[in-house]
C-alpha cells in the first residue's frame, strides 16, 4: 500500500508520524480485508443454513466483521487521525 | 392443470387485535408541532444571505454535525426499506449493515478535505468546488448539478412514500390515508426548510437523529423481548426459516454476494458525496467535528442497524412467513385430494391448463410436521408431485427454476397490486408491541413510528435544501440570471423546494397506480429506489477522489467521465425501461436494452456499470487534454498538506 493510499484513509505522513503512518497502513489493510470477507466473497465460506454458536451462520459472520470494521474506525480515530488540524490558513 | 397449494401459517390466525389507540395521534401531533417551532426559531436566529441559509454560517458543532450527517444518511431506507429488504430476502441482508462503517470512514477521509478547501475558498455547493478546481464554468458545473438532482428526486420520492405507508397502516380506516399522509409529510417538511434554511434543517435533524437512534435500537430490543431473549429468538430463526432465507442469495434469490459487496462499498461512499452530505461537510465548525462525527457515525449507526432494526425483518419472516411460489413441471392430469385433517390449513385452487403446477405456500418449515409432509407427498400419484415442501424451499435457489416471494397477507393485504414488504416494521410494531407491553407497548410503538417519520423528513429536508442550493447557484446563477442578488437567489431556492416537492409527490401518487406498481418494482420498494439514486451520486467519486487526493485529471476528462457515467447508470438502471415504455418501445431502444442486459453478467450495484465507463473515459480524456492551472493544483495540495 502506498503513501497516497494511507492518506486516502486519513493519515498525513509527517516527520513525527511514522509510527502513526505504519499503523494507518495496517488498519487500512484490515478494513479492506473485513469488507472482502464480510459482505464480499468471503460470505461464501459460511453460506449454510447450519447455525454457528446458535446463530444463523451468515448473521454470526456479519457480527464478527461488524466488530472488526467498527474497531478499525475507532482505532483510526484514537491513534491515526490528526487532532491538530482543526483550522485552516486563509 | 394448474394448482395453487396454500398452507395457512400462524400469521393467518395471528392476533390482529394489536391497536395503538390514540397514542400515535398525540405523539405525531406533538412532534410535527415541535418541527414547526424549530423552523420558526431557526428563522429568527438567521441572518440574511446564502451562506447562512445554506450552511448555517459554517458553525455547526460536533453534536449537530454528527446527527445531521447521520439523519441525512439514514432515511426511510433505514427504518422501512432495510427491514423490508431483510423481510423479503432473509438474514443475509442483515450484512447490508456493513456498509455503514465505510460511510463513517468517508465522513473524515473525504469530509475533512472538503471542509478545508471549502472553508478557505467559501464554497457552498459541490459544483462550486469542482468547477473552480477544474476551471470549468459551464459543462462540468451543470453535470454536477444534474447529478445532485438525479440523486435527490428519487430520495425525496421515497421519503414521501414512507409518509404514505405509515399513514396507510396507522389510519387505514380513513379514505385516501396514503395520499393524505404523503401530502402532510411533504408540506410540513417544505414549510420548515423554507422558513429556517440550513439552521432549521440541522436542528430538526438533531431531534430526528436522536429519534432515529432510539427507534432503531428499541425496535430490535423489542424483538428480542418478544421472543423471550436472544437465544430463543435465534433458535426459532434457525429452526423455522427456510434454508433460502438463511443463505446467500436470499429468499427471493435476488442478492448474490456481488450485489451485496458492491452496495456495501460503493453505495455507502456514493451516498457520502451527494450534495446534501457535501454541504454538511462545509457547514461543520472544524475538522475535529468531522472526526468525532465519523466515529460516532460508524460505531452508533452500525450498531443500530445490525443489532437493531435488522432484527425486525428477521423476526418478520418468523411471525409473518413469506409466500413462496415455485413452478414444477407436471403431467397434464393430476388427481389431488386433500385429507380432512389438512383441509383447514390447505386450499387447492385450479386455474388455467398446461403442464405446470404452481405451488404457493406460506413458508416456514414449522408449518409442516413430518406427518404432514408425508401426507402432502401422498396427495398425488404423479412422481413430480413427490417433493416435500422443504425441498421446494431449497429449490427456490435453483436459478433454472422461476421462483418468487410475496409478503404475507397480514403484512400486505393487497398483495395482488403491489408487494409491500416495506410495511413489515409498522405491522410488527402495531400488532406485537401492545401485546408484549400493553399501554407502554403502544407508547413505544408510537415513538418508533414517529422515528420513521423523522427518518423520512430528515432526509427529505436535507435533499430538498441541497437541491435548491445546487439549482440556484449552479444553474440559475450561472446560466439564467448571473446578475441575481443573494436575496433573490435564496427566494429562487425556496421556489425550487416547492416545485421539487410537488414533482416528488406526483411521482409517489403516480407510482401507486396498480399497473405501474406491478410493472416497475423499484417504484414500490424503498430500498430499490434508494439504491438507484445512489448509482447516480456515486458517479461523482472519480472527480472527488482526483480533486482531493490525486490532482491528475482535467476538466474535460471530468466532464466526459461524469457524462458517460450518468448515462450508463441511467441505462443500466430501471429508469431506462420506464423511458422505453413511455416512448412506445422504439425498436432501437429495445434492442439496446437487450444488449445492455446481455452485458450484466452478474447482479451488481448500478454504480458499478456507471463507474466502469466513467473512470476509463476520465483517465483517457485527461491524458490528452490540459490540466488545471498549476497554481490551483498547488493551492489544493498545500491546503491538504
Contacts of B550 in chain A (CB under 8 A): 4
pLDDT for B418 equals 54
Interchain proximity B98–A65, CB inside 8 Å: yes
Mean pLDDT (chain A, rounded): 81
Nearest Cα neighbor of B180 from B190, B189, B171 is B171
pLDDT for B273 equals 93
More reliable by pLDDT, B496 or B253: B496
Nearest to A73 among B231, B265, B294 (CB): B294
Domain span holding position B285: 7-320+428-510+517-640
The rounded distance, in Å, linking the Cα atoms of B478 and B278 is 20
More reliable by pLDDT, B375 or A33: A33
The length of chain A, given as a count of residues: 90
Query: What confidence category does residue B257 fall into, taking pLDDT thresholds of 50, 70 and 90?
Result: very high
Of these ranges, B8-17, B212-221, B294-303, B516-525, the one predicted with the greatest mean pLDDT is B294-303
The predicted-structure confidence for A40-64, as pLDDT tens digits, reads as follows 999 999 998 889 988 999 999 999 9
pLDDT for B621 equals 96
Of these ranges, A34-48, A74-88, B147-161, the one predicted with the greatest mean pLDDT is A34-48
Q: How far is B94 from chain A (nearest CA, A)?
A: 7
Mean pLDDT check: name the lowest of B84-88, B101-105, B471-475, B576-580. Answer: B576-580
More reliable by pLDDT, B366 or B126: B126
Q: How far apart are the first and last CA of chain B?
A: 74
The answer to whether residue B345 is domain-embedded is no
Query: What confidence category does residue B131 fall into, taking pLDDT thresholds of 50, 70 and 90?
Result: very high
Which chain B residue lies closest to A36 (C-alpha atoms)?
Answer: B261
Query: What confidence category does residue B91 fall into, taking pLDDT thresholds of 50, 70 and 90?
Result: very high
The rounded distance, in Å, linking the Cα atoms of A54 and B230 is 10
More reliable by pLDDT, B395 or B632: B632
Q: In what order do the strands lie in the sheet with B403-406?
A: B346-351, B2-7, B356-362, B323-329, B403-406
pLDDT for B551 equals 94
Q: How far is B254 from chain A (nearest CA, A)?
A: 15
Is A60 an interface residue toward B (CB < 8 Å)? no
Interchain proximity B112–A40, CB inside 8 Å: no
CATH classification of the domain holding B103 = 1.20.1730.10
Residues 6+ apart with CB under 8 A from B182: B160, B161, B163, B164, B167, B505, B508, B509
Q: What are phi and psi of B82, to 5 degrees?
A: -65, -50
Would the pLDDT of B380 be above 50? no
pLDDT for B390 equals 33
Q: How far is A80 from chain B (nearest CA, A)?
A: 11
Is B364 an interface residue toward A (CB < 8 Å)? no
**Is the separation of the CB atoms in B449 and B76 below 8 Å?**
no
Query: What confidence category does residue B371 fall into, taking pLDDT thresholds of 50, 70 and 90?
Result: low
Would the pLDDT of B423 be above 60? yes
Percent of chain B with pLDDT over 70: 78
Is B98 an interface residue toward A (CB < 8 Å)? yes
Nearest Cα neighbor of B161 from B191, B185, B182 is B182
Write the Ramachandran bin of B391: left for phi over 0, alpha for psi from -120 to 50, otherwise beta. alpha
The answer to whether residue B543 is domain-embedded is yes
The rounded distance, in Å, linking the Cα atoms of A37 and A42 is 4
The answer to whether the Cα torsion of B490, B491, B495, B498 is positive or negative is positive
Residues 6+ apart with CB under 8 A from B571: B592, B593, B596
Q: Where are the domains of chain A?
A: 3-80
Would the pLDDT of B600 be above 50? yes
Nearest to B108 among A4, A81, A87 (CB): A81
Query: What confidence category does residue A10 fall into, taking pLDDT thresholds of 50, 70 and 90?
Result: low
**Is the separation of the CB atoms in B319 and B87 below 8 Å?**
no
Which chain A residue lies closest to B115 (C-alpha atoms)?
Answer: A88
In this structure, the strands spanning B2-7 and B346-351 are antiparallel
Nearest Cα neighbor of B448 from B222, B225, B230 is B222
Nearest to A86 among B101, B286, B549 (CB): B286
More reliable by pLDDT, B526 or B385: B526
Nearest 5°: CA angle at B547, between B543 and B550?
A: 105
Q: What is the mean pLDDT of residues B596-607?
A: 78
Q: Helical H runs in chain A? A: 3-8, 18-37, 57-75
Interchain proximity A8–B237, CB inside 8 Å: no
Interchain proximity B91–A38, CB inside 8 Å: no
Query: What confidence category does residue B236 fall into, taking pLDDT thresholds of 50, 70 and 90?
Result: very high
DSSP type of residue A56: E
Residue appearing with cell numbers 446463530: A55
Domain count, chain B: 1
pLDDT for B144 equals 93
Query: What confidence category does residue B374 fall into, taking pLDDT thresholds of 50, 70 and 90?
Result: low
Residue appearing with cell numbers 490551483: B632
The answer to whether residue B162 is domain-embedded is yes
The rounded distance, in Å, linking the Cα atoms of B280 and B272 is 10
Is B634 an interface residue toward A (CB < 8 Å)? no
Would the pLDDT of A12 be above 80? no
Q: Is A18 exposed, middle or buried (0-12, 13-18, 19+ CB in 10 A)?
A: exposed
Mean pLDDT check: name the lowest of A38-47, B168-177, B194-203, B344-353. Answer: B344-353
User: Residue B109: which H helix or E strand, with range?
Assistant: helix B100-109
The answer to whether residue B589 is domain-embedded is yes
pLDDT for B391 equals 37
Would the pLDDT of B334 be above 50? no
Would the pLDDT of B77 be above 70? yes
The predicted-structure confidence for B306-325, as pLDDT tens digits, reads as follows 999 899 999 999 998 887 65
Would the pLDDT of B365 be above 90? no
Residues 6+ apart with CB under 8 A from B561: B542, B543, B613, B614, B615, B617, B618, B619, B621
Q: What is the mean pLDDT of residues B207-236?
A: 87
Which chain B residue lies closest to A43 (C-alpha atoms)?
Answer: B257
pLDDT for B348 equals 37
Size of interface A-B (CB pairs under 8 A): 145
The predicted-structure confidence for B562-593, as pLDDT tens digits, reads as follows 999 999 999 988 888 888 888 877 888 888 87
Q: How far is A3 from chain B (nearest CA, A)?
A: 11
Is B97 an interface residue toward A (CB < 8 Å)? yes
Nearest Cα neighbor of A88 from B130, B66, B294, B641 is B641
Grid cell, residue B35, equals 418541527
The answer to whether residue B252 is domain-embedded is yes
More reliable by pLDDT, B416 or B426: B426
pLDDT for B55 equals 62
Would the pLDDT of B268 be above 60? yes
pLDDT for A35 equals 94
Query: What confidence category does residue B411 fall into, taking pLDDT thresholds of 50, 70 and 90?
Result: confident
pLDDT for B9 equals 33
Interface of A with B in 14-43 (CB under 8 A): 31, 34-36, 38-41, 43
> Which stretches of B449-500 are assigned E, i.e. beta strand?
none
pLDDT for B567 equals 94
Is B302 an interface residue toward A (CB < 8 Å)? yes
Nearest to B101 among A55, A70, A81 (CB): A70
Query: What confidence category does residue B195 fall into, taking pLDDT thresholds of 50, 70 and 90?
Result: confident
The predicted-structure confidence for B462-493, as pLDDT tens digits, reads as follows 788 888 888 988 889 888 888 888 788 888 88
CA of residue B477 relative to chain centroid, distance: 32
Q: What are phi and psi of B361, to 5 degrees?
A: -150, 160
CA of residue B400 relative to chain centroid, distance: 30
Query: What confidence category does residue B180 fall into, taking pLDDT thresholds of 50, 70 and 90?
Result: confident
Q: What is the mean pLDDT of residues B157-175?
A: 79
Which chain B residue lies closest to A13 (C-alpha atoms)?
Answer: B641
Which chain A residue lies closest to B244 (C-alpha atoms)?
Answer: A49
Interchain proximity B287–A85, CB inside 8 Å: yes
**Is the separation of the CB atoms in B100 and B70 below 8 Å?**
no
Residue appearing with cell numbers 446458535: A54
Q: What is the mean pLDDT of residues B450-458?
A: 78
pLDDT for B262 equals 93
SS3 B497: helix
Query: What confidence category does residue B298 fall into, taking pLDDT thresholds of 50, 70 and 90?
Result: very high
SS3 A52: strand
Query: What confidence category does residue B623 fall into, taking pLDDT thresholds of 50, 70 and 90?
Result: very high
The rounded distance, in Å, linking the Cα atoms of B198 and B50 is 10
Nearest Cα neighbor of B320 from B389, B216, B250, B223 is B223
DSSP letter for each residue of B127-195: HHHHHHHHT-SSHHHHHHHHHHHHHHHHHHHHHHHHHHHHHHHHSTTSTTHHHHHHHHHHHHHHHHHHH
Q: What is the mean pLDDT of residues B24-44?
A: 77
More reliable by pLDDT, B106 or B493: B106
pLDDT for B233 equals 93
Mean pLDDT (chain B, rounded): 77
User: Residue B466: which H helix or E strand, with range?
Assistant: helix B424-471
**Is the separation of the CB atoms in B446 and B20 below 8 Å?**
yes
Residues 6+ apart with CB under 8 A from B616: none
Nearest to A70 among B265, B302, B314 (CB): B302
ipTM above 0.90, yes or no: no
Q: How far is A26 from chain B (nearest CA, A)?
A: 15
Residue appearing with cell numbers 435533524: B205
Mean pLDDT check: name the lowest of B105-114, B179-188, B393-402, B529-538. Answer: B393-402
| Count of CB atoms situated within 10 Å of the CB of B586 | 11
Interchain proximity A86–B298, CB inside 8 Å: no
Nearest to B257 among A40, A66, A70 (CB): A40
The rounded distance, in Å, linking the Cα atoms of B118 and B640 is 11
The answer to whether residue B286 is domain-embedded is yes
Contacts of B639 in chain A (CB under 8 A): 88
Interface of B with A in 435-494 (CB under 8 A): none
Of these ranges, A8-12, A37-41, B66-70, B213-217, the one predicted with the greatest mean pLDDT is A37-41
DSSP letter for each residue of B406-427: E--TTT-TTTTT---GGGHHHH
Residues 6+ apart with CB under 8 A from B259: B249, B603, B604, B605
Is B234 an interface residue toward A (CB < 8 Å)? yes
DSSP letter for each residue of B507-568: HHHHHTSHHHHHH-GGGG-HHHHHHHHHHHHGGGHHHHHIIIII----HHHHHHHHHHHHHH
Is B210 an interface residue toward A (CB < 8 Å)? no
Q: Is B508 exposed, middle or buried (0-12, 13-18, 19+ CB in 10 A)?
A: buried
The answer to whether residue B419 is domain-embedded is no
The rounded distance, in Å, linking the Cα atoms of B618 and B419 is 40
More reliable by pLDDT, B604 or B195: B604
Would the pLDDT of B329 be above 50? no
Would the pLDDT of A5 be above 70? no
In this structure, the strands spanning A51-52 and B2-7 are unpaired
Amino acid at each position: 500500500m502506498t503513501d497516497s493510499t494511507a492518506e486516502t484513509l486519513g493519515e498525513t505522513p509527517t516527520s513525527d508520524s511514522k509510527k502513526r503512518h505504519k499503523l494507518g497502513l495496517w488498519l487500512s489493510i484490515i478494513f479492506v480485508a473485513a469488507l472482502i470477507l464480510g459482505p464480499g466473497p468471503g460470505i461464501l465460506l459460511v453460506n449454510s443454513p447450519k447455525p454457528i454458536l446458535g446463530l444463523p451462520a451468515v448473521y454470526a459472520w456479519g457480527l464478527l466483521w461488524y466488530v472488526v470494521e467498527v474497531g478499525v474506525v475507532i482505532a483510526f480515530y484514537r491513534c491515526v487521525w490528526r487532532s491538530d488540524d482543526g483550522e485552516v490558513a486563509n | 392443470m394448474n394448482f395453487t397449494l396454500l398452507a395457512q401459517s400462524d400469521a393467518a390466525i395471528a392476533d390482529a387485535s394489536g391497536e395503538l389507540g390514540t397514542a400515535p395521534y398525540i405523539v405525531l401531533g406533538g412532534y410535527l408541532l415541535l418541527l414547526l417551532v424549530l423552523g420558526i426559531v431557526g428563522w429568527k436566529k438567521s441572518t440574511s444571505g446564502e451562506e447562512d441559509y445554506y450552511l448555517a454560517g459554517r458553525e455547526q458543532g460536533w453534536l449537530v454535525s454528527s446527527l445531521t450527517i447521520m439523519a441525512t444518511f439514514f432515511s426511510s431506507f433505514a427504518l422501512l426499506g432495510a427491514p423490508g429488504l431483510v423481510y423479503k430476502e432473509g438474514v443475509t441482508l442483515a450484512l447490508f449493515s456493513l456498509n455503514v462503517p465505510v460511510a463513517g470512514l468517508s465522513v473524515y477521509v473525504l469530509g475533512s478535505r472538503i471542509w478545508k478547501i471549502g472553508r478557505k475558498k467559501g464554497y457552498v455547493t459541490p459544483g462550486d468546488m469542482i468547477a473552480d478546481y477544474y476551471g470549468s464554468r459551464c459543462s462540468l458545473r451543470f453535470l454536477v448539478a444534474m447529478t445532485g438532482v438525479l440523486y435527490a428526486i428519487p430520495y425525496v420520492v421515497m421519503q414521501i412514500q414512507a409518509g404514505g405507508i405509515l399513514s396507510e397502516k396507522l389510519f387505514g380506516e380513513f379514505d385516501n390515508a396514503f395520499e393524505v399522509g404523503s401530502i402532510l409529510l411533504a408540506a410540513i417538511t417544505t414549510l420548515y426548510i423554507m422558513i429556517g434554511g440550513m439552521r432549521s434543517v440541522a436542528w430538526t435533524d438533531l431531534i430526528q437523529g436522536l429519534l432515529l437512534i432510539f427507534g432503531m435500537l428499541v425496535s430490535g430490543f423489542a424483538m428480542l423481548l418478544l421472543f423471550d431473549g436472544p437465544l430463543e429468538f435465534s433458535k426459532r430463526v434457525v429452526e423455522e426459516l427456510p434454508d433460502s432465507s438463511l443463505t446467500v442469495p436470499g429468499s427471493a434469490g435476488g442478492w448474490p454476494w456481488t450485489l451485496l459487496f458492491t452496495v456495501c462499498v460503493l453505495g455507502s461512499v456514493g451516498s457520502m458525496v451527494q450534495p446534501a452530505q457535501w454541504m454538511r461537510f462545509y457547514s461543520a465548525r472544524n475538522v475535529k467535528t468531522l472526526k468525532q462525527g465519523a466515529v460516532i457515525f460508524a460505531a452508533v449507526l452500525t450498531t443500530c442497524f445490525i443489532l437493531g432494526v435488522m432484527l425486525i425483518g428477521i423476526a418478520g419472516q418468523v411471525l409473518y412467513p413469506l409466500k413462496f411460489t415455485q413452478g414444477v413441471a407436471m403431467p397434464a392430469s393430476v388427481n389431488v385430494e386433500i385429507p380432512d385433517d389438512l383441509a383447514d390449513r390447505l386450499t387447492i385452487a385450479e386455474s388455467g391448463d398446461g403442464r405446470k403446477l404452481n405451488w404457493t405456500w406460506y413458508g416456514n418449515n414449522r408449518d409442516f410436521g413430518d406427518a404432514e409432509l408425508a401426507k402432502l407427498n401422498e396427495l398425488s400419484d404423479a412422481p413430480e408431485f413427490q417433493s416435500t415442501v422443504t425441498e421446494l424451499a431449497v429449490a427456490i435457489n435453483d436459478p433454472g427454476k422461476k421462483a418468487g416471494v410475496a409478503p404475507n397477507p397480514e403484512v400486505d393485504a393487497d398483495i395482488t397490486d403491489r408487494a409491500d414488504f416495506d410495511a413489515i416494521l409498522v405491522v410488527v410494531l402495531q400488532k406485537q408491541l401492545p401485546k408484549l407491553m400493553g399501554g407502554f407497548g403502544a407508547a413505544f410503538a408510537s415513538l418508533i413510528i414517529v422515528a420513521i417519520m423523522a427518518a423520512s423528513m430528515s432526509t427529505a429536508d436535507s435533499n430538498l435544501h441541497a437541491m435548491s442550493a445546487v439549482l440556484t447557484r449552479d444553474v440559475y446563477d450561472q446560466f439564467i440570471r448571473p446578475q441575481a442578488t443573494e436575496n433573490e437567489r435564496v427566494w429562487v431556492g425556496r421556489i425550487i423546494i416547492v416545485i421539487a416537492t410537488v414533482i416528488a409527490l406526483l411521482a409517489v401518487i403516480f407510482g401507486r397506480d396498480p399497473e405501474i406498481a406491478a410493472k416497475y418494482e423499484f417504484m414500490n420498494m424503498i430500498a430499490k429506489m434508494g439504491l438507484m439514486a445512489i448509482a447516480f451520486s456515486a458517479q461523482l467519486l472519480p472527480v472527488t477522489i482526483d480533486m482531493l487526493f490525486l490532482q491528475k485529471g482535467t476538466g474535460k476528462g471530468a466532464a466526459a467521465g461524469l457524462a458517460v457515467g450518468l448515462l450508463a447508470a441511467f441505462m443500466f438502471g430501471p429508469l431506462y425501461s420506464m423511458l422505453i415504455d413511455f416512448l412506445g418501445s422504439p425498436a432501437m431502444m429495445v434492442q439496446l436494452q437487450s444488449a445492455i442486459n446481455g452485458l450484466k453478467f452478474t447482479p451488481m450495484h448500478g454504480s458499478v456499470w456507471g463507474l466502469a465507463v466513467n473512470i476509463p473515459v476520465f483517465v483517457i480524456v485527461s491524458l490528452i487534454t490540459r490540466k488545471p492551472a498549476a497554481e490551483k493544483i498547488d493551492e489544493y495540495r498545500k491546503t491538504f498538506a
